[in-house]
Amino acid sequence: MKAIVRLIVAVMVMTLAGLALVGCGGATAEAVPTPAATADPAALVGPMQGLMTGMHNLMQQYQGTPMPPEAITQMQGMMTGMQGLMGQMQGMPGTENMPGMMQQMQGMMGTMQAMPGMGMPGMINQTPDAGTPMPMQGMMMGDAPVVPAGVAFADGETIRFIHTEASDPDIAQLLSDMMASPVLVVPSLADAPESATAPVYVFTNGLVGMGPLGFQPDVFPFPPGADGYTPLRRVHLVTWADPAAARELKSAAEVEAALAAGELTEEVPSVVVNMPFVTWPGGGR
């Protein structure tokens, strides 16, 4: 597995070097709040570099020793993020000359996911008591499709969830590209009553990470087991007033405190996404 990761990192270096030649002009992740199919691919260099560095550092930390379950979970999350960024790159101007490189990286990541203990991102089942990964026996039946899961935070813990439908076609396309799995457009979700929805905080700037816009992962209030849980999430876009002062927030309480202090601003577009949890604090499917 470690050899595969080293190959992925090597190919990433070549990919990033290629992107740097496509009109980068010194672009950073902070300058690109909304990656889209028409965006400059060089704008994804920052998020990809962050994930590449994370994968490299994790490999160095466990050089010569087996990865513990929590490290495997971190690696899966970074793989999910890398897959999402590669999905966003597809079709962008300047990437048409790199299909072989992209396919090579995707193939290596697929090989890595198939190795024992890794599995597909998001396909780790956890026990409610121990919270430790369980074997994948029985999790895949016949030719049933696998829906990749995203990584987010709830109540200070890392959770996994899936996107299945969205009310807005642009958001549905962004999520489809990010996860390499179709998210259906259901406009009527936007008409869901407030009592049937709960917020999801999506960051538009700050720390580079695995969120849908290339920054830190989403933050969910009301996980399963809490009063107010619902899979229907109304998108709340949150933006750091001073991106240089950004820090990782892992709970709704932290987000709401930052909003109250004026560190974050908030925008609530009329977008609802169906985002059922796969794992949550103290439990999982």
- Domain range spanning residue 193? 150-284
Q: Do 26 and 90 lie in a common domain? A: yes
User: Residue 33: which pLDDT band, with cuts at 50, 70 and 90?
Assistant: very low
The pLDDT of residue 13 is 53
Q: Helix axis angle, 45-61 relative to 69-89, nearest 10°?
A: 160
Interval 172-195 mean pLDDT: 93
Interval 127-149 mean pLDDT: 52
Q: Do 158 and 270 lie in a common domain? A: yes
Interval 164-191 mean pLDDT: 94
User: Residue 37: which pLDDT band, with cuts at 50, 70 and 90?
Assistant: very low
Q: Do 160 and 214 lie in a common domain? A: yes
The token pair that represents 185 in the structure block: 């457009």
Indicate whether 200 belongs to any domain. Answer: yes
User: Residue 88: which pLDDT band, with cuts at 50, 70 and 90?
Assistant: low
One-letter amino acid for residue 45 of the chain: V
Indicate whether 130 belongs to any domain. Answer: no
| Cα 137 to the center of its chain, rounded Å | 25
The pLDDT of residue 277 is 96
Interval 234-251 mean pLDDT: 97
The pLDDT of residue 197 is 97
More confident residue, 41 or 146: 146
Q: Do 159 and 278 lie in a common domain? A: yes
Indicate whether 76 belongs to any domain. Answer: yes
Indicate whether 129 belongs to any domain. Answer: no
The token pair that represents 88 in the structure block: 């966003």
181, 214, 20, 18: which is closest to 100 by C-alpha? 18
The token pair that represents 280 in the structure block: 């949550």
| C-beta separation of 123 from 277 below 8 A | no
Indicate whether 135 belongs to any domain. Answer: no
Of the residues 86, 113, 140, the one at which a domain ends: 113
The pLDDT of residue 139 is 39
Q: Do 82 and 183 lie in a common domain? A: no
One-letter amino acid for residue 143 of the chain: D
| C-beta separation of 71 from 61 below 8 A | yes
Q: Do 96 and 168 lie in a common domain? A: no
Q: Do 276 and 164 lie in a common domain? A: yes
Of the residues 89, 113, 137, the one at which a domain ends: 113
203 phi, psi to nearest 5 deg? -90, 135
Q: Do 170 and 236 lie in a common domain? A: yes
Integer angstrom CA distances of residue 174 from 1, 38, 90, 217? 30, 12, 12, 15
Give the span between the Cα atoms of 136 and 123, in whole angstroms.
Answer: 8
Of the residues 113, 142, 171, the one at which a domain ends: 113
Q: Do 109 and 154 lie in a common domain? A: no
Would residue 276 be called left, alpha or beta, if left means φ above 0 and alpha means ψ between -120 and 50 degrees?
beta
* Least-confidence region, from 147-151, 168-172, 214-218, 245-249: 147-151
| C-beta separation of 281 from 223 below 8 A | yes
Indicate whether 171 belongs to any domain. Answer: yes
Domain count, the chain: 2
Q: Do 196 and 87 lie in a common domain? A: no
More confident residue, 225 or 120: 225
Mean pLDDT over all residues of the chain? 75
Indicate whether 120 belongs to any domain. Answer: no
Give the span between the Cα atoms of 180 and 175, in whole angstroms.
Answer: 8
Interval 208-220 mean pLDDT: 93
Q: Do 72 and 155 lie in a common domain? A: no
Indicate whether 137 belongs to any domain. Answer: no
**DSSP bridge pairs for 266:** 238
The pLDDT of residue 194 is 93
Interval 99-112 mean pLDDT: 51
| C-beta separation of 224 from 173 below 8 A | no
Interval 267-272 mean pLDDT: 96
User: Residue 132: which pLDDT band, with cuts at 50, 70 and 90?
Assistant: very low
The yes-or-no verdict on residue 246 having pLDDT over 50 is: yes
The yes-or-no verdict on residue 10 having pLDDT over 70 is: no
**DSSP bridge pairs for 185:** 166
